[in-house]
């Protein structure tokens, strides 16, 4: 069928055709490094990862570029508020560069733990101010800019297709606009390309420019850096949906005004992760990070698995109950893969290569590919993964071969799972579990199923799973990699 993607530009599913056959240029807006990423932000980066991995899986050579914003991002995307970096640096009594370095490292720590592959190019805004100045000069030469109150602005009225991405109508926006009006702006949507003395005399980082000593606006960095590394036209640009009306709209305006060409062909936007009553935001504080989840006993991959269970274009409601169910589901997935691996003889041929899969495994893989090609449907892709792992009559080596291939996209680390070294079971714990199992067997005999279930559920809540088989009831820890060896109870 071929890859189809939902393009925000045009709001429709479209067949994907790269500019150069077989190659994809892909830019995803990176973090502003003034704080830890919250788990909503991480949804956006897991999404970028799914885009890159899916394209590679489908045979494209991908160049993935991501920026690090370390200057110019104000608390309002429309040039209002304070500079996020400067504010944090002042609060912590650190330099802006120290803050940037610390949170950039923390960001990649998180993305590594989520099995997010590193982009091919990671570019810092502060290293590319020269490129931004060159881009702004081009805009100035073509008459798209004006100076007011010490800032250089982009004049959106000079760019007739302004707002196409967001389907904004400028005249409607102007009446009853929510945009805070900066008296220097000719149109409410005009935005700053270069700040000089109008804001933040104390701005830590400043550069010389034809418009005076100052610093670049936030939007211009993405235009300048993406074009530097991907050329003046490229295939895919991604980000969260909040960026559609301002940031991405402004990126398009500057880029296309400067080059006179179509800049990006496919715009992909992930929906939000919703926490409790509303949107999670770094600026509002009180947000959850990956560390919050890890400290509460979750593996980062539980969170990845939770995210992949929702389609990127649907809002996802975060709750610990939902995360618990993702954790339990991933634990059984891990257990299933380990059990299959134990059936594939060590020293033998190992998992079956894709080209040699049996018809049933091949059919699953085809369905998996179709799910990915259908606008990156990770929920359906995961269903196919489960399908092959559970399918009756498929040799273990074929099931594993197909599952590992699917994991090139899903990134759940299936091929590198290891059963933990068997450590001795704590005898007191083993005795307690055995006593509970015996009590459950007795309860069943007495047809007291409520008691039997409550024993099983009580153990499950403690991470201990009971399995009833022909040889009796055995138990194991719910994580695939359990800290202690599984025990065996007396038989019924």
Site residues (CB under 6 A) for ligand AMP? 29, 31-32, 40-41, 43-44, 239-240, 242-243, 270, 272-273, 279-280, 282
3-state secondary structure of 310: coil
Site stretch for Zn ion (CB under 5 A), options 196-204, 222-230, 305-313, 411-419: 222-230
Question: CB under 5 to 8 A by kind: which of ligand AMP, Zn ion, none does 235 bind?
Answer: none
Site stretch for Zn ion (CB under 5 A), options 25-33, 139-147, 328-336, 390-398: 25-33
Give min distance, CB of 237 to Zn ion, in A.
8
Q: Give dist(CA 479, CA 420) in Å, integer.
A: 10
Question: CB under 5 to 8 A by kind: which of ligand AMP, Zn ion, none does 18 bind?
Answer: none
Nearest to ligand AMP of 32, 189 (CB atom): 32
Nearest to Zn ion of 123, 389 (CB atom): 123
Site stretch for Zn ion (CB under 5 A), options 22-30, 192-200, 308-316, 406-414: 22-30
Token readout for 179 is: 């945009």
Please state, in angstroms and as integers, the Cα–Cα distance from residue 360 to each residue in 342, 365, 384, following that order: 21, 9, 12
Q: Give dist(CA 387, CA 466) in Å, integer.
A: 23
Nearest to ligand AMP of 238, 333 (CB atom): 238
- Going by DSSP bridges, is the β-strand pair 12-15/4-7 parallel, antiparallel, or unpaired? antiparallel
Nearest to Zn ion of 66, 459 (CB atom): 66
Give min distance, CB of 27 to ligand AMP, in A.
12
Nearest to ligand AMP of 128, 243 (CB atom): 243
Q: Give dist(CA 243, CA 166) in Å, integer.
A: 9
Give min distance, CB of 409 to Zn ion, in A.
25
Give min distance, CB of 272 to ligand AMP, in A.
4
Give min distance, CB of 258 to ligand AMP, in A.
23
Give min distance, CB of 44 to Zn ion, in A.
11
Number of neighbours of residue 200 by Cβ within 10 angstroms: 16
Question: CB under 5 to 8 A by kind: which of Zn ion, ligand AMP, none does 71 bind?
Answer: none
Question: CB under 5 to 8 A by kind: which of Zn ion, ligand AMP, none does 153 bind?
Answer: none
Nearest to ligand AMP of 38, 63 (CB atom): 38
Give min distance, CB of 70 to ligand AMP, in A.
12
Nearest to Zn ion of 29, 192 (CB atom): 29
Give min distance, CB of 462 to ligand AMP, in A.
32
Q: b or e along 295-307 (b: 16 or more beta carbons within 10 Å of the residue's beta carbon)?
A: eeebbbbbbbbbb
Nearest to ligand AMP of 32, 54 (CB atom): 32
Q: Give dist(CA 195, CA 206) in Å, integer.
A: 9
**193 touches 139 (CB < 8 A):** yes
Give min distance, CB of 40 to ligand AMP, in A.
2
Among 3, 5, 29, 466, binds Zn ion (CB under 5 A): 29
Among 152, 193, 222, 288, binds Zn ion (CB under 5 A): 222
Which position's Cβ is nearest ligand AMP? Answer: 240
DSSP string, 266-306: EEEEEPPEEETTEE--TTT-----HHHHHHTT--HHHHHHH
Nearest to Zn ion of 222, 406 (CB atom): 222
Tell me how far apart the 2 most distant CA atoms of the chain are, in Å. 88
3-state secondary structure of 392: coil
Question: CB under 5 to 8 A by kind: which of ligand AMP, Zn ion, none does 270 bind?
Answer: ligand AMP
**350 touches 344 (CB < 8 A):** yes
Write 130-135 long-range contacts (CB < 8 A, 24+).
131/224, 131/225, 131/228, 132/216, 132/220, 132/221, 132/224, 133/194, 133/207, 133/209, 133/210, 133/216, 134/224, 135/220, 135/223, 135/224, 135/227, 135/254, 135/258
Which residues contact Zn ion by CB under 5 A? 29, 222
């Amino acid at each position: 069928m071929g890859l189809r993607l939902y393009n925000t530009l045009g709001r429709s599913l479209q067949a994907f055709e790269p500019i150069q056959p077989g190659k994809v240029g892909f830019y995803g807006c990176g973090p502003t490094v003034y704080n830890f990423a919250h788990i909503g932000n991480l949804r956006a980066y897991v999404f970028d990862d799914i885009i890159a991995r899916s394209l590679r899986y489908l045979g494209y050579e991908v160049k993935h570029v991501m920026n690090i914003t370390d200057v110019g991002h104000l608390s309002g995307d429309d040039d209002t508020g304070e500079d996020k970096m400067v504010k944090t640096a002042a609060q912590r009594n650190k330099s802006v560069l120290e803050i940037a370095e610390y949170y950039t490292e923390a960001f990649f720590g998180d993305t590594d733990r989520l099995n997010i592959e590193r982009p091919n190019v990671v570019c810092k805004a502060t290293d590319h101010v020269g490129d931004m100045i060159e881009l702004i000069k081009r805009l100035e030469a073509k008459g798209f800019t004006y100076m007011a109150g010490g800032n250089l602005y982009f004049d959106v009225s000079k760019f007739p297709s302004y707002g196409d991405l967001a389907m904004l109508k400028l005249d409607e926006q102007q009446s009853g606009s929510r945009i805070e009006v900066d008296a220097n702006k000719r149109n409410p949507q005009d935005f700053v390309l270069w700040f000089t003395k109008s804001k933040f005399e104390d701005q830590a980082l400043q550069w010389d420019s034809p418009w005076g000593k100052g610093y670049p606006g936030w939007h211009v960095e993405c235009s300048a850096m993406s074009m530097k590394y991907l050329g003046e036209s490229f295939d895919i640009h991604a980000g969260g949906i909040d960026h559609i009306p301002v940031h991405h709209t402004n990126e398009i305006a500057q880029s296309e005004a400067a080059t006179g060409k179509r800049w990006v062909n496919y715009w992909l936007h992930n929906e939000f992760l919703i926490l409790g009553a509303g949107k999670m935001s770094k600026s509002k504080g009180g947000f959850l990070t990956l560390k919050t989840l890890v400290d509460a006993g979750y593996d980062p991959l539980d969170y990845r698995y939770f995210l992949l269970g929702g389609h990127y274009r649907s809002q996802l409601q975060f709750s610990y109950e939902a995360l618990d169910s993702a954790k339990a589901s991933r634990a059984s997935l891990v257990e299933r893969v380990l059990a299959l691996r134990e059936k594939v003889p060590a020293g033998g041929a190992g998992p079956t290569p894709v080209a040699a899969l049996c018809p049933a495994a091949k059919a699953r893989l085809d369905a998996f590919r179709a799910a990915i090609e259908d606008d990156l449907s990770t929920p359906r892709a995961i269903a196919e993964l489960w399908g092959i792992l559970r399918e009756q009559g498929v040799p273990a080596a074929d099931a594993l071969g197909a599952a590992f291939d699917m994991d090139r996209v899903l990134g759940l680390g299936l091929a590198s799972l290891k059963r933990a070294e068997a450590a001795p079971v704590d005898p007191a714990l083993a005795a307690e579990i055995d006593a509970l199992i015996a009590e459950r067997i007795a309860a069943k005999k007495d047809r007291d199923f409520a008691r039997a279930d409550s024993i099983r559920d009580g153990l499950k809540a403690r991470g201990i799973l009971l399995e009833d088989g022909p040889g009796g009831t055995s138990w194991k820890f719910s994580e695939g990699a359990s800290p202690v060896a599984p025990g065996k109870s007396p038989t019924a």
